[in-house]
Amino acid sequence: MFNTLLIANRGEIACRIAATARRMGIRTVAVYSDADANARHVQACDRAVHIGGPEPAASYLRADAILEAARRTGAQAIHPGYGFLSENADFARACAAAGLTFVGPPVDAIAAMGSKSAAKTLMSGADVPLVPGYHGERQEADFLQEQARAIGYPVLIKASAGGGGKGMRIVHADAEFQAALASCQREAASSFGNAQVLIERYLTKPRHIEIQVFADTHGQCVHLFERDCSVQRRHQKVIEEAPAPGMTPDRREAMGRAAVAAAQAVGYVGAGTVEFIAEPDGRFYFMEMNTRLQVEHPVTEAITGQDLVEWQLRVAAGQPLPLRQDQLHIQGHALEARIYAENPDKDFLPSIGRLDALQWPPHVVFQTGPVRVDGGVREGDTISPHYDPMIAKLIVHGQDREQARQRMLRALGAVRCTGVHTNIAFLGRLMDDPAFATADLDTGLIEREHDRLFPAPRDSEDTTLALAAATLLHHDGLARPGATAMTGGPWSQADGWRIGGHYARTLTLKDDRGERTV
């Protein structure tokens, strides 16, 4: 096992990796940008190295600066986390050239899965089921439209090198195809530097189910069961859970077998996620493989009792997998909610600013427990425009799905966060939504339940206004318990008392509906 690990990331995932490394006795090195000089992940590590300006391109995407930081600190391995350089084959290759262990899959595996089209061609040869579609190299508009007609509408146009919902369009009719294709190609070229697309049949009520796989250098490969990530907005995950509701043992075994076959087809090593799209009748199709740890890995840790970062580090050090397939078992049910600084009522517009207050319910950190919080910011920190506005991940575990759902509702209700807009109230409505509560899940749930999840704004209630006014008066010393004490003499008291006449004060409060006077 190496003794010094550089974490080439920031925020909650850097803190999470550092926690496991510390428990294993591994020294950690953080890297940070100008914007992150006082960030939590910097303080979570044994040493920190400045690597550049606040923009990712000037810091966390600078392979040269990260490799130089590893050289200066004597790091023997680099963990890329997720995002940034985690699925960059050139970076993994540069690590190897510098004599550093890249905590991730082999370069060839990253490259093979980096293109959606190439990956699907590879999967077809490994007998992994694919959505009917065209994944080839020809990109002429008329030819692609012919493929769409042959597949049958509706179809999905997807950027071959894409992710995160960018470069993706649903086309319902032939007359819409050419305009949608041009739009998709422009966005793909802008976002990924590659305009190539693929065409697939669009499934009308699909579920997004992914399988966590792990492989070592000794020829072993296992899956750690499934996660349901169907609840999404704009193709980005909002709620993840494990195991998938309604999953039968036969279907779990079939999906696990297909995921392992996908990993073995590319000579995979380390942690990976094979993502499938599933139809209501049980049929499932390969979508893509993420060659890294996923944001939602804590729900898998909760139901298996395993530390997936520890598995990553052991495999990267050449050790065999800690457990065989028959030693892995599902325990209970887990849910994860991503808490973001964003305004759901304004199309999830990111919100930047200072976290004036940030309080969590009783919880564990980076471990399994009834309530777990994986966070990378603290009260007083600033949500920057330079990075993803995630505040934390809230994870709960219960004996069954209903207990986990109730725990999530209580945990969300106990979070206190002010200074920025958040999606906490929205997540609470989502947990309480009848479709979610009964596990009537598909990737269109948020749109389908829009009216329930986005109720029309209402004026603040009188009780809310009174509490706000009392809080302001309290801070001004006008409503503080014991304010009538004579410690400073009667004339120094700021409690509003007057020897004659009346004391009046007007407070102007603002909510989403406008200004209110108290």
Which active-site residues does the annotation give? 292
Contact 402, 323 (CB under 8 A): no
d(CA 296, CA 372): 13
Query: Vertex 274, ends 265 and 407: CA angle to 5°?
Result: 155
Q: Which residue has the tokens 């303080």?
A: 43
Closest CA to 267 of 209, 220, 212: 220
**How do the residues of the chain divide into helix, strand and coil, expressed in percent and rounded to 5?**
35, 25, 40
Order of all β-strands in the sheet with 4-7:
47-52, 27-33, 4-7, 77-79, 101-102
**Torsion angle in degrees (nearest 10) through CA of 377, 383, 386, 388:** 60
Instruction: Answer yes or no: are the C-beta atoms of 104 and 110 closer than 8 Å.
Output: yes
What is the DSSP-derived secondary structure letter of residue 139?
-
The pairing of strands 155-159 and 197-201 is antiparallel
Read off the DSSP letter of residue 155.
E
Pull the structure tokens for residue 169. Answer: 């369009």
Q: What is the DSSP string of 251-272?
A: HHHHHHHHHHHHHHHTT--EEE
SS3 505: coil
**One-letter amino acid identity for 48?**
A
Helix (H, G, I), strand (E, B) or coil at 287: strand
What's CA 48's distance to the chain center, in Å?
Answer: 25
Q: How far apart are CA 447 and CA 463, in angstroms?
A: 32
Nearest to 114 by CA among 99, 93, 100, 95: 93
- One-letter amino acid at 302 equals A
Could you give the angle at the alpha carbon of 82 between the alpha carbons of 93 and 117, nearest 5°?
70
Residue type, 53: G
CB-neighbour burial class of residue 279 (10 A; exposed 0-12, middle 13-18, buried 19+): middle
Report the residue count for the chain. Answer: 518
Answer whether 289's CB lies under 8 Å from 275's CB: yes
For 396, list phi and psi in degrees, rounded to 5: -125, 155
